[in-house]
Amino acid sequence: MILTVTFNPAVDQTMTFAESLTPGAVSRATDARFDAGGKGINVSQYLDALDADTVATGLLGGFTGTFIRDALADDGFATDFVDIDEPTRLNTTALAGGEEYKLNQNGPDVAPSVVDDLADAVRSHGPDRVLVGGSLPPGLDPDAIDRIAGAGEWRTAVDVGGDVLAALDGEYDLAKPNREELAAATGADVETIAECADAARRLRDGGFERVVASLGGEGALLAGPDGVVFAEAFDVDVVDTVGAGDAMLTGVLAALDRGESDEAALRNGVAVATRVVQRAGTSVPDFEGLDEDRDAVETRRL
C-alpha cells in the first residue's frame, strides 16, 4: 500500500477566461471549478483511479479543510488527516489568453509538534511506501520530512522543492524533481538532457536510490541503480499542466510497487501524465487503455 503525506494541502481553484487578463480591469471567468489539491492528495487520487491501494494523510484545517475532506470522501478512498487550527490554503490557477497564471498561498502556521501526530497516523496504516509531497507550511522545516521517513520501515519517496531536497538528511527511496528543482538541489547546469542526467546522478549520491526528473515537453528521465533511462514525451495538446508532475510520479510509484523495472515504471509515469495534461484542473482523467499508451512511450538509455 502507498500512503501519501501532504503537509500543506490546498483547495485548487481553476478559472478560465475568454480574454487575456488586464491589470486594473474586472475579468469574469467563463468557467470555474474547485478540486482537493496538494501533491500527495493528487497522487492518492490518481493511484485510486489506477486501482492501487492508497491512503491520503496530511494536515487539514478550517472551511477549506472541510471541503477537502468532503471531496475525498465522495471519491471513496481512505484518508486519515490530522486536524490543525488554521484554514488550509486556497490556490488559484487562471487560464486566460493562452497563458497560465498561478496564485498560491503559503499555508497556515503549524507547530512542529504536529509531526508526531502525523507520524502516529502513518504508522497506524503500516504502509509499504510513503510519499511526502508538496511545500512545507510556515512553522515546519525539512526535518519534518526526515522525521516521517524515519518513523517506520516503509520506503519513502519525496516530491518537494529543490532547496528542501538539498536539506534532507535521511535515506530515501525516490526523489521527483522537475528541471528547476533538479538545478536547485544540485547546483548543476540542466540545459540539456545529458546535463539533467548528470545532475540526477549527483542527486542520487545525496541519499536517493532513484531520481525521477520531469523535463516538460522534452520528456522525463529516471536515474536508478541500473543507470539512467530517458523517455520521450507524447505530442499532445496540453490544456493544463497542474498535476502533471504528480501524475508522472503516480505512474512511477504504482509500477515500482508492482515490482516492475525502472524503464517500465518511467513509461507508466509518462503515460499517466499525458492523460492528465489534456484536461483542466486536477480532476482525475479516464485511464482506460493506459497499457497501450505505456507501450507506445519511447525510451533509451543515457
Amino acid at position 21, single letter: L
CB-based burial, 197-210: b 16+ in 10 Å, e otherwise: bbbbbbbbeeebeb
CATH of 2-17+31-301, one of 2.40.30.130, 3.40.1190.20, 1.10.10.10, 3.40.830.10: 3.40.1190.20
CB 55 within 8 A of CB 43: no
Q: What is the pLDDT of residue 240?
A: 57
Greatest pairwise CA separation for the chain in angstroms: 55
Q: What is the pLDDT of residue 230?
A: 96
The grid cell for 243 is 498535476
User: Whole-structure pTM over 0.85, yes or no?
Assistant: yes
Q: What is the pLDDT of residue 242?
A: 62
Cβ count near 273 (within 10 Å): 26
Q: Which of 159, 246, 257, 262 is catalytic?
A: 246
120 annotated active-site = no
Name the 3-class secondary structure at 61. Answer: coil
Q: Tens-of-pLDDT digits for all 302 residues of the chain? A: 999 999 999 998 999 999 999 999 999 999 998 988 889 998 999 999 899 999 999 999 999 999 999 999 988 889 999 999 999 999 998 999 989 898 999 999 999 999 999 999 999 999 999 999 999 999 999 999 999 999 999 999 999 999 999 999 988 999 999 999 999 999 999 999 999 999 999 999 989 999 999 998 888 999 999 999 999 887 666 665 566 788 899 999 999 999 999 999 999 999 888 887 666 656 677 777 788 888 888 888 98
